[in-house]
Chain A
Amino acid sequence: MTSLAHLATADGAATAATGVTAYAWLLVALPLLGAAVLLFGGRATDKWGPLFATAMSWAAFVVGFVVWLAMLGRDGEDRAAHLHLFNWVPAGSFNLDAGMLVDQLSVTFVLLVTFVGSLIHVYSIGYMEHDPDKRRFFAYLNLFVAAMLLLVLADSYLLLYVGWEGVGLASYLLIGFWNHNPAYATAANKAFVVNRVGDFGLSVGIMIMFAAFGTVTFAGVQQAAEGGAGEGVLTAIGLMLLLGACGKSAQFPLQSWLGDAMAGPTPVSALIHAATMVTAGVYLVVRSSFVFDHAPNAQLAVVIVGAITLIFGAIVGCAKDDIKKALAASTMSQIGYMMLAAGLGPVGYAFAIFHLLTHGFFKAGMFLGAGSVMHGMNDQVDMRRFGGLSGAMKITWITFGLGWLAILGVPPFSGFWSKDKIIEAAFIGEGWRPWVFGGAALIGAGITAFYMSRLFFMTFHGTKRWQTDGDDAVHPHESPRTMTIPMMVLAVGSGLLGLVLSLGGTFTHWLEPVVGGHEEGEHPVLPVWLLMTLTLLLVAGGVLLAWMRYWRDEVPQVQPTGSLATRAARRDLYQDDVNEGVFMRPGLHLTRALVFADTRGVDGGVGGLAALVGGTSSRLRRLQNGFARSYALTMLAGVVVILGAMWVIQ
């Protein structure tokens, strides 16, 4: 019970869980049970498995809802509860309990993950209806929900790491779900390996915490950080955590996997690669606010990463013709906004989470809409072959349109309430920072308006660029109810959630006990009304430009060559090429000799690093020549060197 005592003294906020909160472990257990039943039940569960998994996910939502209600019943200061699960690693000096921290932040995530997750389970029933392996699919979905809930409910970095790896694994399994297609398998592999780079950062960060503070619980680290730990240590921890966050949240420079991850089934893209998992990095930064608040340099790095990514993603989004990849670029960019907000410190934490929440709704809704379009168009993803679908798919058009208005930040839709606040917050500060970061956020809003409108118009408006007869005939039709109802629910969220939660600052007050309040009296360098007007003007400009080019004018069915900038953006601003040039080419030269069945398994920068290691490896391998005499000589040389070195040192 050491860590429990720790918590109590640390901030006085987390009290032992009682009542329904004591059953919070069910949140993880229920979906896990679902996954286990479906995976081990085998073919016997084929028939009712998907329904069972969906029920488990809804059950988790109900538990989360009840826990939330119970929390509302308590006063602001008493709302955080700590649930001790079991003594996890009880070995002397590194005692660690597994426990859950049920506070405002984690409950927000629990509600988001279980609600959106459950809707996507329902949607998948329709979407995956004809897939022979759908049982496995639902098992993985449940596994994902369980891991994600563990991630957000963990009370220590180590337990969070378990959930972190769990969602990575589930995402890997789901991206590669249609693994009969080698390209998809490659994408899965790339996602996994890039994520390992991020995970490496997280694990080193945890190790530094352990080395410096002797504890890895949130409460313990908070106590240490606030109790005057060295800024150098905190900066190191912060940078390592940021590296982890970059991997998971597809932030610069580890963003290259998200586009490829769109190979997975669309519900997966909606749940994991838009609404929940990719936001785990933001969660990590906000949860570690106590570290970043005391390490200004690491905090600055977070802002920079966020600003770069939001512009980067927006530019890439302008050039993509694949509807899912364009949405992925947009996700990257929106998470850039959240990262930026999270890096601003107490001013921004609440808005980061707020935007995360609204984004979860409208982006998931749009992904489901994209899936619905693909469903009706024979799995076509090229937007140049869409156009004028608004008539054929009314519900999809309206729900998608609501999401579009939300992401644009048009009042009174959700995005307006969250994104505008981030732009305002970015303009707070002194010196060059507000101008650079605020400017980036402002310009990003304009570009976002352009590419999202481009996407929307190319898909639903303008001329029809598809045939109902001939070789590639398609017959667009509205999707079944199981798919449209979740879309409608999410569309309602896209429309209203922001307004409801920001009335009287409800949401920011709600989060205040966890992330700290934003002090009154800090004002942006420009007046708020001016910022709002500027934003809306830029958005209107973006929409207008898109309208002229993609609705009014004819959209060519074949991709035009385009300017240099367009070509660069199409190729993800040469990210893979940079990776290839810097890491892979030199590595490849080293590994000419390396013949392996699966060299194409991993591409990009990851393959480059691997190739470098592989090159060293094949050189070292020559030492292993199979002659016992050489081996004996190696041993002898080793002994002589060690003895000699000791002699010299003495």
Chain B
Amino acid sequence: MPAMTVLSAPALATAFKPADVDYSAIAPMLIVIAGALIGVLVEAFAPRRHRHVIQVSLALVSLVAAFVVLVTVSADEAHRGGTLAQAVIIDGPALFLQGAILLMAALGVLTMAEKFGGQGADAFTPMGAAVPGSPHEAAALRAGLATSEVFPLTLFSVVGMLLFPAAGDLLTMFVALEVLSLPLYLLCGLARRRRLLSQEASLKYFLLGAFSSAFFLFGAALLYGYAGSLYLADIATAVRAANGALEGLLLPGVVLVLVGLLFKVGAVPFHSWTPDVYQGAPTPVTGFMAACTKVAAFGAILRVVYVGVEANRWDWRGGVIAVAALTMVVGAVLSVTQTDVKRLLAYSSIAHAGFILVAVLAFDRTGVSGTMFYLVAYGFTTIAGFAVVSLVRQGGSEASHLSQWAGLGRNHPVVAGVFAFLLLAFAGIPLTSGFAAKYAAFAPAISFGGRSGVALVIIGVLCSVITAFVYVRLIVLMYFTEPPAGEVVVAETASPFTTVAITIGTLVTLVLGILPAQVLDLAERSSQFLVK
């Protein structure tokens, strides 16, 4: 009866040993937490009219400071390895992904800060708790209230994202998952316009997110039952020994844990929330979510797969291969019939998740670096893309229906040009980061993925042809179609915040397309997972 021995509580006689904490290694996370907590206090005590400025600067300062500290820490090999009783493992992939998350989150904060001359952040409702269309809401609007809580909420979410790819055991990973998710659920419901859609998105995301968390937890429990430990390192040892009496628990455990993680990246068939949530959420939040959540969740997938259960990959690989193929095909095919630009980008993000999974399934160090490079390339492009979407307006609210984008290139050549460039990057046309990323992701799959890797790559290339068609159609729509009659669709003049975000995102897309060497090299050097 092995189960009973585990259940009986050990006596408290053993002396308490405090876990040794490498404060430098986790300093980036601590800085962001501190920023978030101070942000909450600012909400409580700072006068209303100063809050926006304080919150934005606070968020930016803490993210940038965390990044600077991260860079400093990563230079010193001594800080690599497990800390906090192996709950957190700081290694190459963790540092690389954390850095990416911090930079993208900073861009995300910049887009959220956009005011368009109003009193608060333009994308967010003045009062999140008020019933849409109620007198309360109207009153809040008149009073010029602003939901500046979005910035601390974003920071909290970033903390979870930083922890997610660095988690050394499944429990920490679960905590990170919840810490990153809960603020996002809230953020999704705070759109200023089309409140009902936004609240629906929030609720859906929450319900399905909770559902997927349950899968993750159940899987973690099964793996605990199998290995007798939640540490990925111990699970790996147990899998390699493969002498457990409870062999039957392993496979369901792996599958369920992966389901919980695949939900976060929006892989088919766990993707249904993506289009609804991407469409309903405030556009800057969508951009932030699309970029950073993907990075964090793929980081976690990489760690679980490469550190924890790599040894029996032949047993569960088939399922993930099927998911990857399905994800690419469904994402690409469904993007064809979308009529809303945010939903279109949502399906495109699903397809991209499939492309990244192809790299993950290479089971080689180059697969890790390919995944990480793809995440960086895709993330920057996405944030810039959604920022452009938030600029295009009709009658004060976002013109997200595709027909409203017709002829945009005539009136706003720069905005349309930037968007066209970003779309070309999504399509993977050379001289954009998308091309370099697809190359980096597909090459290891061909080299190390065996026959299934080659098959996945061929599916991937076919799907990119389909998605390229979708993007080109949108470009044609912007440039070669007559604008619709009636109210004119305009691209708002962006404040420096959004301008900077779009510029950086676009520049990164361009630079990574022409000279990907530096970042690829960095990804390559940071692709070694540490077990302890």
Q: A contacts B directly in the complex (CB < 8 Å)? A: yes
Whether B520 pairs with A91 at a CB distance below 8 angstroms is yes
Nearest CB of chain A from residue B517's CB, rounded to whole Å = 5
Q: Is B164 an interface residue (CB 8 A)?
A: no
The B-contacting residues of A in range 619-648, CB under 8 angstroms, are 620-621, 623-624, 626, 628, 630-632, 634-635, 637-639, 642-643, 645-646
What size tier do the contact residues of chain A reach?
Answer: 35 or more
Q: Is B322 an interface residue (CB 8 A)?
A: yes
Interface string of A182-197 (1 = CB under 8 A from B): 1001101100110011
The B-contacting residues of A in range 577-618, CB under 8 angstroms, are 594, 596-598, 601-602, 610, 613-614, 616-618
Whether B521 pairs with A598 at a CB distance below 8 angstroms is no
Q: Is B302 an interface residue (CB 8 A)?
A: no
Query: A613 contacts which of B211, B364, B466 (Cβ < 8 Å)?
Result: B466
Inter-chain CA distance A369–B142, complex, in Å, is 69
Known: A182-B480, A196-B469, A646-B251. A635 touches B337 (CB 8 A): no
Inter-chain CA distance A637–B461, complex, in Å, is 28
Q: Is B114 an interface residue (CB 8 A)?
A: no
Whether B334 pairs with A620 at a CB distance below 8 angstroms is yes
Q: Is A493 an interface residue (CB 8 A)?
A: no
**Chain A: which residue is nearest B318 at the CB level?**
A649
**Chain B: which residue is nearest A633 at the CB level?**
B272
Query: A91 contacts which of B318, B366, B462 (Cβ < 8 Å)?
Result: B366
Whether B436 pairs with A89 at a CB distance below 8 angstroms is yes
Residues on the A chain within 8 Å of B490, using CB: none
Q: How many residues on chain B are close to A (CB under 8 Å)? A: 78
Q: Is A86 an interface residue (CB 8 A)?
A: yes
Whether B269 pairs with A637 at a CB distance below 8 angstroms is yes
Q: Is A485 an interface residue (CB 8 A)?
A: no
Nearest CB of chain B from residue A216's CB, rounded to whole Å = 10
Whether A93 pairs with B465 at a CB distance below 8 angstroms is no
Among A91, A93, A186, A624, max chain B CB count under 10 A is at A91
Q: Is B64 an interface residue (CB 8 A)?
A: no
Known: A158-B439, A643-B252. A597 touches B402 (CB 8 A): yes
Whether A200 pairs with B315 at a CB distance below 8 angstroms is no
Whether A628 pairs with B454 at a CB distance below 8 angstroms is no
Nearest CB of chain B from residue A568's CB, rounded to whole Å = 30
Q: Is B179 an interface residue (CB 8 A)?
A: no
Nearest CB of chain B from residue A140's CB, rounded to whole Å = 13
Whether B520 pairs with A598 at a CB distance below 8 angstroms is no
Nearest CB of chain B from residue A167's CB, rounded to whole Å = 11
**Chain B: which residue is nearest A626 at the CB level?**
B276
Among A92, A188, A626, max chain B CB count under 10 A is at A92
Known: A89-B516, A94-B443. A207 touches B457 (CB 8 A): yes
Interface string of B290-331 (1 = CB under 8 A from A): 000000000000000000000000011011001100000010
Query: B469 contacts which of A86, A89, A610, A631 (Cβ < 8 Å)?
Result: A610
Whether A88 pairs with B318 at a CB distance below 8 angstroms is no
Query: B461 contacts which of A86, A207, A214 (Cβ < 8 Å)?
Result: A207
Inter-chain CA distance A94–B299, complex, in Å, is 23
Residues on the B chain within 8 Å of A210, using CB: 443, 446-447
Q: Is A162 an interface residue (CB 8 A)?
A: yes
Known: A617-B336, A649-B318. A632 touches B207 (CB 8 A): yes
Known: A598-B476, A628-B204, A638-B270. A166 touches B431 (CB 8 A): yes
Sample 9 A-B pairs with CB under 8 A, ordered by A number.
A93-B444, A162-B430, A207-B457, A596-B402, A601-B481, A617-B335, A634-B270, A635-B269, A638-B259
Interface positions of B (Cβ within 8 A of A): 203-204, 207-208, 211-212, 215, 251-252, 255-256, 259, 263, 268-270, 272-273, 275-276, 315-316, 318-319, 322-323, 330, 333-337, 339, 364-366, 369-370, 373, 402-403, 406, 429-431, 435-436, 439-440, 442-444, 446-447, 454, 457-458, 461-462, 465-466, 468-469, 472-473, 476-477, 479-482, 515-517, 520-521, 523-524
